[in-house]
Structure 1
Amino acid sequence: MTASHLDETRAGYDSVADLYADLFSTAYLDMPFDLGMINAFGRLARDAGPVADLGCGPGHLTAHLRSLGCDAFGADVSAEMIRIARAAHPGVRFDHAPMTEVDVADGALGGVLAWYSIIHAPVQDVPGLLAAFHRMLAPGGHLLLGFFVSDTGEPVPFDHKVAPATRWPIDTLAGLTAEAGFTEVARQRREPAEGERHRQGHLLVRKSVQEGEADAV
């Protein structure tokens, strides 16, 4: 992401951090389809290595992954979100850093959760983000993406109210993950719940156990 784009995203989330934490820190517990995907991801990733929650916000999903047995840590570009996360979950690692600047060795992670975080990246930057996630993951590691769905066949900018954002067609995003070296495991598209404006999409993919081989999942 460009510096100006990061600055806009950082400023937007800093300005609403306390309200965001109040609204969303437990809301996922009432979203059974979303929670099912997160739980499946956690159980698949937990034995493969540490799990990074990139764009962790106030840290609620980082803590949930830890409750599933994951060695999970979080990172976010918003200093205010990290402040809240550290206060709410003492003893858990939370890095104040953009997703691609987290201090982790290549191939070290068992899982990457990017839950409604890549939506704030410019469309042209998303392939680079996916490539970075692929580098971070160990062979066999899993990536779970959460995003707003576009049904037009093209990525569509929309008024997110906090920071610039894009809705993605599931097929388009799945194609980009394949180009980055991932194999699709599962996908989910659901209708908006009460209070939501857009359809929601979730995409679970896996890095091949051995590079250059087909991944039999």
Structure 2
Amino acid sequence: MTELDFPAASMAGMLVWQSLIHVPDDEVPAVLRHFHQVLRPGGPLQLLFHVGTESQLKTQGYGGHPMNVHVHRRQPDLMTTWLRDAGFKVEAHMLLAPEEKASQAILFARHQPYQ
């Protein structure tokens, strides 16, 4: 996601569900800048991610398959800041099951031209 092989402004919209959960925090801003680069002006971006502040090493995947990846939980306010810094306007957000440990968030953002 840090080197998308698409021309600038070539995508009408992006659906990014659980795609950033394995990207370390220090790389997320660059990924969002790449999303901004390939989206057309005004193009929508929808993110779904795990809510929290911790990262966890996952060693077993669905079906018991071995794996070795980190799962990063993030706060919606932090993701909103990163999106704004990358050139997006956050238009709406929603918490799914906020009272549960496995809460998730959806952010709806739109590509804004850099000022």
When normalised by structure 1's length, the TM-score is 0.45
Given that 2:4 and 2:34 are in contact with CA atoms closer than 8 Å, whether structure 1 keeps it comes out as no
Stretches of structure 1 that go unaligned for 5 or more consecutive residues are: 1-98, 213-217
| Higher strand fraction (1 or 2) | 2
Unaligned stretches of 5+ residues in structure 2: 62-68
Equivalent residue in structure 2 for 1:158, among 25, 48, 56: 56
Q: Is 1:184 matched with 2:90?
A: yes
CA distance in 2, matches of 1:103, 1:132: 10
Distance 1:110 1:189 in 2: 25
**Residue 123 of structure 1: aligned partner:** 25
For residue 211 of structure 1, report the CA deviation from its aligned partner.
3.6
Number of positions where the alignment pairs a residue of Structure 1 with one of Structure 2: 107
Give the structure 1 partner of residue 110 of structure 2. 206
Percent of residue pairs identical? 33
Matches within 5 A, 1:63-212: 99-150=1-52, 155-160=53-58, 161-162=60-61, 163-191=69-97, 198-208=102-112, 210-212=113-115
Q: Which letter maps to 2:102? A: H
Which fold has the larger relative contact order, with Cα–Cα distance below 8 Å and residues 6 or more apart in sequence? 2
Which protein has the bigger helix share?
Answer: 1
CA distance in 1, matches of 2:29, 2:4: 18
Secondary structure of the structure 2 residue equivalent to 1:108: coil
Q: Please tell me the root mean square deviation across aligned C-alpha atoms, in Å.
A: 2.1
> Normalization by structure 2: what TM-score?
0.82
Listed one character per residue, the Cα deviations across residues 121-151 of structure 1 (whole Å, up to 9, x for unaligned) are: 011100010011000111001111110011x
